[in-house]
């Protein structure tokens, strides 16, 4: 399943040899919510999973994940089949916050957003518009990446719909993370 997430995020690879804009200002957030030691599979409750249509058992994994620098990244993969076939990945990024996306060095369509009062970005890889990621800056140098995609016959849904679902999932993930901390 890591392969699926890696393939999903492969469109967000770093572009080398191009100078990006100046370093973006540090994001402001209501408070830091550290992800150290958090199990990504604990970030959606059973009720939240049911509301999002995620009826498969969550699966934990660890591995490298583009476009993030560093070593293995903990992630959880959620799936659902009713009323549609969907995949949701939640990755805990301990090497960078949203500044990676705001640097201008990624091949992705980026829109700044907020999840609750936390700075976030919505990212769509132009080479892979079948999924949408919402990355929430939760602490200095830390982020939660929530990516959503449709599988099967519904895979041709408009990307705006995917992003709306990703934003709903990101909001639920942040609620749970804040409650844990």
The single-letter DSSP state of residue 9 is H
Q: Give the start-end residues of each E strand in 12-108.
A: 59-63, 73-80, 86-93
Both tokens of 138, joined, read 């939760």
In the predicted structure, residue 36 carries a pLDDT above the cut 60:
yes
Interval 24-53 mean pLDDT: 91
- Name the strand (E) or helix (H) holding 7: helix 2-9
What 3-state class would DSSP assign to 86? strand
In the predicted structure, residue 4 carries a pLDDT above the cut 90:
no
Interval 119-135 mean pLDDT: 89
> What is the pTM (predicted TM-score) of this model?
0.84
Q: Which of 31, 33, 91 is nearest to 60 (CA)?
A: 91
């Amino acid at each position: 399943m890591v392969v699926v997430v890696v393939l999903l995020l492969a469109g967000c690879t770093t572009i080398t040899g191009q100078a990006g804009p100046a370093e973006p200002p540090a994001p402001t957030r209501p408070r830091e919510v550290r992800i150290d030691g958090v199990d990504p599979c604990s970030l959606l409750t059973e009720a939240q999973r049911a509301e999002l249509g995620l009826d498969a058992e969550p699966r934990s994994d660890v591995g490298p994940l583009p476009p993030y620098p560093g070593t293995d990244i903990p992630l959880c993969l959620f799936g659902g089949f009713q009323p549609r076939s969907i995949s949701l990945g939640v990755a805990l990024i301990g090497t960078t916050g949203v500044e990676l996306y705001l640097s201008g060095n990624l091949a992705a369509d980026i829109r700044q957003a907020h999840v609750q009062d936390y700075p976030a970005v919505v990212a769509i890889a132009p080479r892979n518009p079948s999924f949408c990621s919402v990355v929430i800056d939760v602490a200095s140098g830390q982020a939660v990446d929530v990516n959503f995609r449709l599988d099967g016959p519904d895979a041709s849904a408009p990307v705006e719909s995917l992003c709306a679902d990703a934003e709903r999932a990101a909001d639920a993930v942040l609620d749970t993370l804040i409650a844990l901390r």
